[in-house]
Structure 1
Amino acid sequence: MSCRPCSCWRCCCRPPSSSCGIGGASWPARRRQPDVELFNALGDIFSSDALYVSAFQLSVLFLFAGAGEWVAERAGTLNISVEAMLLAGAFGAAAGHEIVAWSIAGLVGGCIAGLLIALIQANLSHRLTANQFVVGLALNVLVLGLTAFLATEIDLGPARAEVVSVPALSGIPLVGEALFARPWPAYFVYLLVPAVWWLVFRTRWGLEVRSVGENPQSADVSGIDVNARRRQAIMLCGLTCGFGGAFIVLGQVGQFQSSIINGRGFIAIAAVIFGGWTLRGTVIGCVLFGLVEALTLATPVQGYRIDPVILDVAPYVVAIAVVLLFATRVRQPRALAQPFVRGLT
């Protein structure tokens, strides 16, 4: 018995069958075949050493920025100037290498530049009690414009650190080159997390930093200089961010560009929120964000056609989604972004 099509919802929504004679083919035959090209491209990407090299390079940057930002936020400072610290560190590394022509000089120059930005942030926020958010945004704009201007006035040549390979480990498939055949500043990341953990959880200074981020009034009654500890935490953040900015010049790009950071400081802040203001979670967030950005960089190299605009915005869309999902579901330090003035509760 033949099927007579009508305008009811059952006939409109029902897939055509061979008994109806509509379309001339059965429903399974008309089903869309899997996108084999996509699966092949993903397989090529995840089996490529270049993906893991890029992911490690970006993770190093995020880890240095994220670890420092985590310490600053545990002390109660919402440090938005991470972007400025990274960019200053990148410029300082290029300038230091240009002056002395040694990669170690570039690394020192980057750390000093990051510390200078941290010094401004710390004193404006915790000596003059200026709004932390406004100060951070102002520093980001200032450093972006200043470094772009200086880069046009000063001829900064290429700056690269020497690659150091670990013979027994660099030959491991997929991850050997990424983890054990890197420019020498990259190996400091293996000491970063244990050192920060020991400093925050195994020293008196770390205990005081955590206390001023949770209950500054009680810490003040106990004899702790709240604003001094917060300034010191920001200075530590400036040091690690300066190192991270120097690394992206010396160990990845090889030359300073005004767009070299390109919003990665805000991604590091998102990694801290993603990690629930814990060190372990922050590390996981930094590695995941590094992998996501590496995927966006590796996809066009493998030849899979995706709109470049989508690839450019993908890491930032992921960062915004992480902030929206996790910011209200985890407990932040109680005194985060709250200025402390003695005598005021």
Structure 2
Amino acid sequence: MNLTTDLETILTASVPLTVPLLFAGLGEYVAQRAGTFNLSVEGMMLGSAFAAAYGATESGSPIVGLLCGIGAALLIAFVHGNLSHRLQLNTYVVGLSLNVLVLGVTNYLLSTTALDIPGGSAWRIPLLSDLPIVGKAFFVQPWVVYLLVPLLLLIWWVRRRRMGLELRAAGDDPVAGDLTGIDVNARRRQALLFCGFCAGIGGAYLSVFQAGSFTSGMTAGRGYIVIAAVIFGGWMLRGVIGACFVFGVAQGLQLALPAIGYTASPQLLAATPYLLALASLAVLGARSKRPLALGQPFAPVR
């Protein structure tokens, strides 16, 4: 047994599985900080995965596929935002309904569409890709993975500007925010659109850049894992990033452990990420750091 090789194998298997969780997790983090418990992130990822696969098939370009995926997820976010924060419908019911709708629509379209997704090559970053243990896992990836860097910088920058303060006010104290002139429901809709953008990249990555195919329900509950990651991370940016890595490694162990010679029940390994998600929801769901108005509708008082 070579520890260095084993760690490299685990990371190489885990990082690609972590990437879609990170993209969607960053978006869900922003949505929840603004007060929306966004259950439709699963549907956003699934709709994006199909739209990206279809767009890449028709155009022959992974970039066009990515744009189609983002567009589909933004459409779902737009619908969710207007139903929940303009018409004041129950956001939980809206989110779950959208997930069921997207699953049905993608299953129907899949049965009537032939997909032939063009493959995308990995980018090898000079010098960094040769580092032991982490080089191959982190620095030999499809180019879309590195969009995480500017996305993280954007979130970090916005958090320190007026827009970031208004988003947090919408999630923590919408009444006070409204009295100071903030359009709370508009901020919540904008946060959902940002979540759609991020989840769109994550869904497109799944079908076009990782699997090279689309299958029925291919997100396999990743959206719900993302929600658990936000809770597990304590609604803090660094916590959410760490939680996504934990869930990604839990998924990666399904592939890595047999490869390095360890035997474990495949069923248990497959269930591990979902067990972690349930545990985080049960143990950490009532933590005091949650946005105080999370999931609560808001009617302006002005």
Q: TM-score, normalised by structure 1?
A: 0.84
Q: In the TM superposition, what are the counterparts of 1:144-155 in structure 2 within 5 Å?
A: 144-155=103-114
* Structure that is richer in helix per residue: 2
CA contact (8 A) 2:60 2:117 kept: no
Matching of residue 185 in structure 1 with residue 144 in structure 2:
yes
User: Which residue of the other structure, out of 315, 324, 328, is the alignment partner of 2:282?
Assistant: 324
User: Which residue of the other structure, out of 230, 233, 238, is the alignment partner of 1:280?
Assistant: 238
Q: Secondary structure of 1:178's partner?
A: helix
Matching of residue 296 in structure 1 with residue 254 in structure 2:
yes
Shift of 1:217: 0.9
- Report the equivalent of 1:210: 168
Stretch moving more, 49-58 or 103-112: 49-58
Stretch moving more, 135-144 or 297-306: 297-306
Q: Secondary structure of 1:164's partner?
A: strand
Shift of 1:305: 3.2
Matching of residue 127 in structure 1 with residue 109 in structure 2:
no
Stretch moving more, 50-59 or 168-177: 50-59
Following the alignment from structure 2 to structure 1, what is the Cα–Cα distance between the partners of residues 54 and 117? Answer: 10
Shift of 1:162: 2.3
Shift of 1:242: 0.4
Q: Secondary structure of 2:141's partner?
A: strand
Following the alignment from structure 1 to structure 2, what is the Cα–Cα distance between the partners of residues 91 and 219? Answer: 38
Shift of 1:82: 0.8
Percent same amino acid at aligned positions?
A: 45
Superposed CA RMSD = 1.7
Q: In the TM superposition, what are the counterparts of 1:266-277 in structure 2 within 5 Å?
A: 266-277=224-235
Larger RCO: Structure 1 or Structure 2 (Cα < 8 Å, ≥ 6 residues apart)? 2
Following the alignment from structure 1 to structure 2, what is the Cα–Cα distance between the partners of residues 139 and 340? Answer: 21
Following the alignment from structure 1 to structure 2, what is the Cα–Cα distance between the partners of residues 47 and 109? Answer: 38
Q: Secondary structure of 1:170's partner?
A: helix
Shift of 1:128: 0.8
Shift of 1:48: 5.2
1:128-173 superposed Cα distances (whole Å, 9 cap, x missing partner):
1111111111111111111111011010113432211112111112
Following the alignment from structure 2 to structure 1, what is the Cα–Cα distance between the partners of residues 246 and 149? Answer: 17
CA contact (8 A) 1:81 1:136 kept: yes
CA contact (8 A) 1:75 1:230 kept: yes
Following the alignment from structure 2 to structure 1, what is the Cα–Cα distance between the partners of residues 5 and 94? Answer: 41
1:63-85 superposed Cα distances (whole Å, 9 cap, x missing partner):
11111001000110010011000
Matching of residue 164 in structure 1 with residue 130 in structure 2:
no
The one-letter amino acid of 1:259's match is G
1:209-255 superposed Cα distances (whole Å, 9 cap, x missing partner):
11111111111111111111100000000000000000112221111
- Report the equivalent of 1:243: 201
User: Which residue of the other structure, out of 259, 264, 267, is the alignment partner of 1:309?
Assistant: 267
CA contact (8 A) 2:9 2:260 kept: no
Q: How many residues align?
A: 302
Q: TM-score, normalised by structure 2?
A: 0.95
- Report the equivalent of 1:333: 291
Following the alignment from structure 2 to structure 1, what is the Cα–Cα distance between the partners of residues 204 and 234? Answer: 27
- Report the equivalent of 2:188: 230
Q: Secondary structure of 2:128's partner?
A: coil
- Report the equivalent of 2:61: 102
CA contact (8 A) 1:296 1:314 kept: no
1:259-317 superposed Cα distances (whole Å, 9 cap, x missing partner):
32100111111110011111111111111111111112222334533222212211100
Following the alignment from structure 2 to structure 1, what is the Cα–Cα distance between the partners of residues 52 and 214? Answer: 8
Q: Which has the larger radius of gyration?
A: 1
Q: In the TM superposition, what are the counterparts of 1:8-19 in structure 2 within 5 Å?
A: none
Q: In the TM superposition, what are the counterparts of 1:189-200 in structure 2 within 5 Å?
A: 189-199=148-158
Unaligned runs of at least 5 residues, structure 1 = 1-39
User: Which residue of the other structure, out of 93, 96, 106, is the alignment partner of 1:137?
Assistant: 96
